[in-house]
């Protein structure tokens, strides 16, 4: 085919890799192939081993590939991608994936994620993405309402709980710096932050990134169920104030990652009020439990907080990644984050149209994360989600009962949807020996590939830790887990 200059150069591309702008027919054809692969992934998520047999060197060797200078067909790339990944995937949505706070991902959210990429909205500000901005603001209002924060839905969707905690802590420090109506600017090296020793590591990390000294992050002790000790918090605040320091932020937890402990939120809120300190609640894992009747009481604590983190990619089952921070006061977050530059000047004066997310957080370019949360909430409805959360908590209670009925299993604490326990062979009393057999037990179970657990250590006791945030997990999976722990444990004890 000749081009407008009569040259013979403008030929049909010989390979699809040479043409970026696919026709809608070609897009459809390739997309159907991807959907087929995604359907296979869903089957594998249910049926494959939860953790594959592999090794670091074998996996690394598969990825020792030259830089491709020439393209090829998408089908060829897909084929190779499948080969490269298979054998190296932990199935986080498997019904017996019990590690960390790893949730199963709602397929509805997967479709929304694909649409998000197709739409490719850059949700920096209203003028960049009017509909996406309003959808995010709506989703923030819904999340606020779901957990009973009682605010106006000021906040941001983030990459996850760590980023949400970082935003909460930054806002708290900005607020503290402006205390006394802005008349006195308090220096960050005199500020202090408080969290329980069970608080998530992202809180101390957030403090460090925001310029606080590591030795000004107070690690408050916990009670026998690992909730923050409020008397110790009060005494530490008093001590710091008397020493001329400036308490800037108390970070309470609504469901710790370690054991699911929920700090005494109302008591902590009263202390924060007394000392005029910002209360941030890390509900990255546990906040959605406020949707259930059993844990609705947490909302009272949330309603007293200045900021709250909650992760749709955990107990709201959105695919990674989407976290959320909600603030009581939009102006304070603006104070923490707003900076101007000529190339992002807002020319609109209308209140709605002049809104910019980048005034309230670190990111300028932002993905349209609200789409998947909106799609999940709209398609599923809050009742169905609350039912699954309650079912997950019920499964943890079933596990508690099984442990109670087995003389060789010992519970080390059980809250929300997390249960910590260990195997203790009859007659064994040596603490190191019991720790060692539980270490071997978890290694063997994970290697066998039918169950995935992550351990923790509680008061020196190595513990098997089960966290259930999964719409696929059933009673039969709990039975399987207990039977396997007993089988492997007995085998090791008798070896
Ligand atoms: C209580 C709590 N806070 C914060 C985080 C960090 O969240 P992310 O991994 O999304 O950064 C987690 C993660 O499990 C968590 O459980």
Map 127-165 to HEC letters.
CCCHHHHHHHHHHHHHHHHHHCCCCCCEEEEECCHHHHH
Do 434 and 372 belong together in one domain?
no
Phi/psi of residue 19, nearest 5 degrees: -115, 110
Asked if pLDDT for residue 106 goes beyond 60, the answer is yes
pLDDT at 5: 42
Q: Is 198 in the pocket of ligand 1 (CB under 6 A)?
A: no
Domain boundary among 58, 91, 124: 91
pLDDT, position 15: 57
- The pLDDT tens digits of the residues spanning 268-310 come to 999 999 999 999 999 999 999 999 999 999 999 999 999 999 9
Average pLDDT score over residue span 375-394: 98
Kindly state whether residues 389 and 486 are assigned to the same domain: yes
Which of 92, 102, 254, 311 most suits a substitution to test ligand 1, by most atoms within 8 Å of the C-beta? 311
Give me the mean pLDDT over the 319-337 stretch: 93
pLDDT number for residue 180 = 52
Q: Is the same domain home to 365 and 390?
A: no
Inside any domain, residue 313: yes
Average pLDDT of the residues in 119-147: 97
CA 396 – ligand 1 centroid, Å: 20
**Is there a single domain that holds both residue 373 and residue 401?**
no
CB of 358 closer than 6 angstroms to any ligand 1 atom: no
Q: Are both 87 and 200 inside the same structural domain?
A: no
Q: Residue 444 has which token pair?
A: 């063997």
Residue 368, token pair as written in the block: 């349209």
Question: Is 489's C-beta closer than 6 angstroms to any atom of ligand 1?
Answer: no
Residues 44 and 138 in one domain: no
Does the pLDDT value for residue 254 go beyond 80? yes
Per-residue model confidence as pLDDT tens digits over 231-248: 999 999 999 999 999 999
**Does 158 score more than 80 pLDDT?**
yes
Residue 115 has pLDDT above 50, yes or no: yes
CATH of the domain at 287: 3.40.640.10
CA of 225 relative to ligand 1 center, distance in Å:
20
Pocket lining: 158 vs ligand 1, CB cutoff 6 Å: no
Residue 7 tokens read as 């040259």
DSSP string, 24-46: HHHHHHHHHHHHHHHHHHHHHHH
User: Which mutation among 98, 202, 263 tests ligand 1's pocket best, with the greatest number of atoms within 8 A of CB?
Assistant: 202
Ligand 1 atom nearest residue 256's Cα: 1
User: Of all residues in the chain, what percent carry a pLDDT higher than 90?
Assistant: 88
The pick from 162, 166, 206, 207 for probing ligand 1's pocket by mutation, whose C-beta has the most ligand atoms within 8 angstroms, reads 162
pLDDT in tens, 428-457: 999 999 999 999 999 999 999 999 999 999
The answer as to whether 100 is a domain residue is no
Judgement on whether residues 162 and 282 belong to the same structural domain of the protein? yes
Return all residues near 112 (Cβ < 8 A) that are at least 6 apart: 371, 372, 374, 375, 376
Higher local confidence (pLDDT), 122 or 177:
122
Q: How many structural domains compose the chain?
A: 3
Residue 415: phi and psi, rounded to 5, are -145, 155
Ligand 1 atom closest to the Cα of residue 164 is: 11
CA 280 – ligand 1 centroid, Å: 14
Query: Quick one: average pLDDT of 138-155?
Result: 97
In short, whether 323's Cβ falls inside 6 Å of ligand 1 is yes
Atom of ligand 1 nearest to the CA of 161: 7
Which pLDDT value is given to residue 2? 40
- Distance between Cα 323 and ligand 1 center (Å): 9
Assess whether the C-beta atom of 159 lies below 6 angstroms from ligand 1. no
Residue 13 lies in a domain: no
Question: What is the pLDDT, as a whole number, of residue 181?
Answer: 55
The per-residue b/e assignment along 85-106, b for 16 or more CB within 10 angstroms, e otherwise, is eeeebbbbbbbbbbbbbbbbbb
Residue 202 CB–ligand 1 contact under 6 Å: yes
405 pLDDT more than 60 = yes
Place of tokens 């089960």: 466
Closest residue by Cα to atom 7, ligand 1, is 161
E strand or H helix at 319, and its extent?
A: none
d(CA 121, CA 420): 43
4 within a domain of the structure (yes/no): no
Confidence bin at 1 (pLDDT 50/70/90): very low
- Residues 71, 75, 80, 85: is their CA dihedral positive or negative? positive
Lowest-confidence pick of 74-88, 398-412, 432-446, 478-492: 74-88
Q: What percent of the chain has pLDDT over 70?
A: 95
Q: Are residues 388 and 488 in the same domain?
A: yes
Last-in-domain residue among 349, 380, 411:
380
91 close to ligand 1 (CB < 6 Angstrom)? no
Query: 315 in ligand 1 pocket by Cβ < 6 Å?
Result: no
Residue-wise burial string across 35-61, b where 16 or more C-beta atoms lie within 10 A, e elsewhere: eeeeeebeeebeeebbbeeeeeeeeee
Q: How far is CA 358 from the centre of its chain?
A: 21
> Ligand 1 mean position to 163 CA, how many Å?
9
Rounded-to-integer distance, Cα 493 and Cα 495, Å:
6
Task: Tell me the CA–centroid distance for residue 473 and ligand 1, in Å.
Answer: 21
Is the Cβ atom of 101 under 6 angstroms away from ligand 1? yes
User: 356 with 454, same domain?
Assistant: no
- Residue 349 binned pLDDT confidence (cut-offs 50, 70, 90): confident
**Domain that includes residue 30, residue range:** 25-91
Q: How far is the CA of 175 from the centre of ligand 1 (A)?
A: 24
pLDDT at position 10 over 60: no
Helical H segments across 179-229, by residue range: 201-209
Residue 104 domain-assigned? no
Residue 366 has pLDDT above 60, yes or no: yes
Mean pLDDT, all residues of the chain: 94
Which pLDDT band holds residue 86 (cuts at 50, 70, 90)? Answer: confident
The span from the CA of 20 to the CA of 42, in Å, is 29
Q: Is the CB of 195 under 6 A from ligand 1?
A: no
Cα 160 to averaged position of ligand 1 atoms, centre (Å): 7
Q: What is the pLDDT of residue 87?
A: 87
The pTM (predicted TM-score) of the whole model is 0.94
Q: Are residues 371 and 401 in the same domain?
A: no
Asked if residues 482 and 489 have their Cβ atoms less than 8 Å apart, the reply is no
Residues 366 and 474 in one domain: no
Q: Ligand 1: which residue has its CA nearest to atom 4? A: 161
- Averaged pLDDT, 96-108: 98
Local confidence band at 184 (pLDDT 50, 70, 90 cut-offs): low
Write the CATH number for 434.
3.90.1150.170
């Amino acid at each position: 085919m000749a081009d407008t200059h009569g040259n013979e150069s403008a030929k049909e591309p010989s390979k699809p890799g040479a043409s970026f702008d696919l026709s809608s027919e070609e897009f459809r054809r390739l997309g159907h192939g991807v959907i087929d692969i995604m359907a296979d992934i869903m089957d594998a998520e249910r049926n494959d081993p939860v953790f594959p047999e592999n090794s670091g060197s074998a996996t690394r060797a598969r990825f020792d590939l030259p830089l491709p200078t020439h393209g090829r067909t998408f089908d060829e790339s897909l084929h190779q991608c499948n080969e490269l990944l298979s054998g190296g995937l932990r199935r986080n949505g498997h019904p017996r994936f019990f590690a960390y706070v790893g949730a199963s991902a709602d397929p509805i959210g997967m479709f929304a994620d694909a649409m998000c990429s197709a739409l490719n909205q850059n949700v920096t500000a209203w003028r960049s993405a009017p509909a996406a901005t309003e959808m995010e603001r709506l989703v923030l209002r819904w999340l606020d309402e779901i957990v009973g924060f009682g605010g106006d839905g000021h906040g941001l969707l983030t990459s996850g709980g760590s980023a949400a905690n970082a935003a909460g802590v930054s806002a708290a420090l900005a607020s503290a710096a402006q205390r006394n109506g802005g008349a006195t600017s308090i220096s960050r090296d005199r500020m202090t932050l408080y969290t329980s020793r069970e608080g998530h590591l992202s809180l101390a990390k957030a403090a460090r990134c925001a310029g606080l000294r590591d030795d000004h992050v107070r690690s408050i002790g916990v009670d026998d169920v690992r909730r923050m000790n409020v008397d110790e918090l009060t005494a530490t605040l008093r001590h710091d104030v008397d020493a001329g320091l400036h308490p800037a932020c108390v970070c309470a937890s609504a469901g710790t990652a370690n054991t699911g402990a929920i700090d005494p939120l109302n008591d902590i809120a009263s202390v924060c009020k007394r000392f005029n300190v910002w209360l941030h609640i890390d509900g990255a894992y546990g906040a959605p439990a406020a949707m259930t009747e059993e844990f609705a009481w947490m909302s009272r604590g949330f309603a007293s907080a200045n900021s709250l983190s909650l992760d749709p990619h955990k107990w709201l089952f959105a695919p990674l990644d989407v976290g959320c921070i909600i603030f009581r006061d939009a102006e304070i977050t603006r104070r923490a984050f707003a900076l101007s530059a000529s190339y992002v000047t807002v020319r609109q004066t209308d209140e709605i149209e002049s809104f910019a997310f980048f005034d309230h957080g670190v990111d300028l370019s932002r993905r349209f994360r609200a789409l998947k949360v909106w799609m999940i909430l709209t398609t599923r409805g809050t009742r169905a989600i609350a039912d699954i959360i309650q079912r997950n908590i019920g499964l943890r209670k079933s596990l508690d009962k099984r442990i109670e009925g087995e003389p060789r299993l010992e519970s080390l604490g059980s809250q929300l949807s997390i249960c910590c326990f260990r195997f203790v062979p009859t007659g064994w009393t040596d603490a190191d020996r019991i720790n060692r057999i539980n270490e071997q037990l978890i290694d063997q179970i994970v290697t066998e590939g039918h169950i995935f657990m992550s351990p923790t250590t509680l008061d020196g006791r190595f513990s098997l830790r089960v966290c259930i945030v999964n719409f696929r997990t059933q009673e039969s999976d709990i039975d399987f887990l207990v039977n396997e722990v007993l089988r492997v444990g007995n085998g090791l004890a008798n070896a």
